[in-house]
Amino acid sequence: KATKAGTSSGKSDKGTAGTAQTFGFQTEAKQLLHLMIHSLYSNREIFLRELISNASDAIDKLRFEALSDPALIGDDNDFWIRIEFDKEAGRLTIADNGIGMDREEAIANLGTIAKSGTAEFLSRLSGDQKKDAALIGQFGVGFYSAFIVADEVEVRTRRAGSAPESGTIWRSKAESDFTVESATIAGRGTEVVLHLKTDAKEFADDFRLRNVVRKYSDHIGVPVQMRAESDDDATDDESNAAKDAGWSTINEAKALWTRSRSDVSDDEYKAFYKHVSHDFEEPLTWSHNRVEGKLEYTSLLFVPKRAPFDLWNRERPRGLKLYVQRVFIMDEAEQFLPLYLRFVKGVIDSNDLPLNVSREILQQDDRVTSIRNALTKRVLDLLSKLATNEPERYNEFWDEFGEVLKEGPAEDFANRDAIAKLLRFSSTHTMEAAQRVSLEDYVSRMKDGQKKLYYLCAENFETAKGSPQLEIFKKRGIEVLLLHDRIDDWLMSSMRDFDGKPLQDVMRGDLDLPPGDDDPKQKDEGDSDALTARIHEALGDRVAGVRRSKRLVDSPACLVFTEADMGVQMRRILEAAGQAVPETKPHLEVNATHPLLARMDGLTDGARFQELSLLLFEQAQLADGGTLKDPAAYVNRVNALLLSLLGSE
Ligand code: ADP
Ligand code: MG
């Protein structure tokens, strides 16, 4: 980790007490710092949440390391986070007796940003303060937020288990560099000293600090303490030891998920969510449950309001914070939820797993599998309730995370039906790009005798909406789902049916329309006749066949694939990914009632017939949003036609 740190430019010996060595911040860290200072003043108090959150993490880490090395804690097993201020000096200190950092750790952790995707994140910033603040929230700026209120920050830290002389002092004025020097520090842990900016002196104030702490840190399992003021009234919950030293605890100091649901307010849930997720925004919804019986665990799961900017990055850390018997074990335990629910944040606290559980063990442990199955159902249930009770909010969810949920049916066969009910699509019924139609809505509107749910996949909504393949459906008032997300073809290949009824791609195979009496002309006509045979001859092996269509009403022609063919969307995705795609030849379906076809039927000019056939084929390709093999030839053909139309006559 230390190798990622900034470059040293100091000349002094490292490790010598009292001589500071200078380091440059990593470029990304520098950019982020700049941002902190110049664009984040609308909600400045969050720096305290971030620093307390770090202190609490540091205590969690110490507890965890002490599982295998109890000497790290020794006799000092009263954990605390302490806040002190000096109004005159404009100084604010946040201290903890957690794990602390050694010199290398201080350089690496406070001089670089280790998170992947930093560069991408920074490139997304728009310069619009409001939007950027939301993005920064998703990214979780943490420590650097100290510079929102401080023009100088000093971190005095000593790693648990190391000697007092091996302490480290880190200092920075948030310019391009920071200094590190060795020092003797009496206790283990970390002290962050903020030299408040002139316009941030308001934070060196007892009342203000207590308010902010209560607002953001009630749910933290560690006592946050301040020195009791003479007229202080908060005395009930402080320990004797703290009272002796003049410290009193000002937060609830009980891990939120261990409290009973009825004791926790919505505001507390929201604050806790911000703590675990590093999100500025409130969660959309949550579910808090204690399970007793064969397995005992507590889960607190949140659905965020907004998708993170790197939702599609498969490497992106995901998962829950894992605790075992209240002891923090790891962040991002991804084994407790399937990939298609990767947007869920929260905590799982198990009473059954061993304290020394590792990621490897998690991967193969039956208890973890049971918990994952239960949590998956829990989330699907939560979403289903949201969809029923608050459809507007469910729509918000769908717009952010719908595409991820669409991975569900393929990944999680057991819950396919439950997931299917949560899916939303555009449709010919609403004729809106917004995906709002559920499969249940669709089924409730099915026509008499309709046995299948029809859908169409296209590159985008506009193409889908205008597809010639929809014509017969529009004419008969049969609803068709209009699918236009990249993943849809794949989704449908793993769905096949809903509510016992098959899903049918209108671009493929036999439509099997409910009996209709509206186009008797095409009813008894076979697949081949003189006209279609002539067109096929003209097109050669560009198509698998030519036949009369039952789908078309207004358009002269369209392309159709067989059930066994790969969907158009899927083929484009694979092609874009540079994969070899098996060549599938479409059938050309023609509308015999169309005047163009009627004219072609009697055409004796062979060359002209050839041209018109090619045009039909090319137009059908274009209508599906496809690209032509030889666009120039198409343009020439059309122009030749136009000229002959304008005519020399
Ligand atoms: P995050 O908390 O998301 O990792 P931060 O920017 O808040 O990011 O902190 C960066 C790193 O600095 C932490 O991961 C941790 O290693 C270290 N750190 C910050 N504050 C403390 C602290 N009080 N005690 C020990 N380490 C800390
Ligand atoms: Mg942090």
DSSP assignment of 327-342 equals EEEEEEEGGGS-GGGT
For residue 578, pLDDT over 90 is answered with no
Can you give the length of the chain in residues? 649
> Are 619 and 593 in contact, with CB atoms under 8 Å apart?
no
Q: What atom of ligand 1 comes closest to residue 54's alpha carbon? A: 20
CA distance 497 to 140: 42
Question: Which residue's CA lies nearest to atom 13 of ligand 1?
Answer: 109
62 lines ligand 1 (CB under 6 A): no
Give distance in angstroms: CA of 43 to centre of ligand 2: 17
How many angstroms is it from 55 CA to the middle of ligand 2? 8
Q: How far is the CA of 140 from the centre of ligand 2 (A)?
A: 7
94 or 561, higher pLDDT: 94
Q: Whose CA is nearest to atom 7 of ligand 1?
A: 142
Cβ distance 555 to 594 under 8 Å? yes
301 lines ligand 1 (CB under 6 A): no
Q: How many CB atoms lie within 10 A of CB 390?
A: 14
- pLDDT of residue 234 exceeding 50: no
CB of residue 347 inside a 6 A radius of ligand 1:
no
pLDDT over threshold 50, residue 127: yes
pLDDT band at 439 (very low <50, low <70, confident <90, very high): very high
Q: Is 299 in the pocket of ligand 1 (CB under 6 A)?
A: no
CA distances from 247 to 74, 236, 518 (A): 22, 13, 86
For residues 231 and 334, give the distance between their C-alpha atoms in angstroms, rounded to a whole number.
48
Q: Is 98 in the pocket of ligand 1 (CB under 6 A)?
A: yes
List residues, by chain if needed, whose CB lies under 5 Å from ion ligand 2.
Answer: 54, 142
Q: DSSP state, 175?
A: S
Are the beta carbons of 615 and 638 closer than 8 angstroms? yes
Q: What is the mean pLDDT of residues 379-391?
A: 98
Check whether 128 has a pLDDT greater than 80: no
Q: How far is the CA of 142 from the centre of ligand 1 (A)?
A: 7
pLDDT tens by residue, 283-310: 999 999 999 999 999 999 999 999 987 8
Lowest mean per-residue pLDDT among 350-354, 537-541, 583-587 = 583-587
Q: Which of residues 420 and 647 earns the better pLDDT score?
A: 420
> Is the model's pLDDT at 525 over the cut of 70?
no
Confidence class for position 223, pLDDT limits 50, 70, 90 = very high
On the question of pLDDT at 222 being above 90, the answer is yes
CA of 126 to the centre of ligand 1 (A): 27
Q: Using one digit for the tens of pLDDT, what is the confidence trace for 258-270?
A: 999 999 999 999 9
Average pLDDT score over residue span 305-324: 87
Going by alpha carbons, the residue nearest to atom 4 of ligand 1 is: 142
pTM for the model: 0.80
Residue 519: is its pLDDT beyond 80? no
Whether the per-residue pLDDT at 524 is higher than 50: the answer is: no
Which of the four pLDDT bands, split at 50, 70 and 90, describes residue 243? low
**Is the beta carbon of 191 within 6 A of some atom in ligand 1?**
no
Confidence (pLDDT) at 15: 46
Torsions phi, psi for 374 (to 5 deg): -70, -40
For the Cβ of 142 lying below 6 angstroms from any atom of ligand 1, the answer is yes
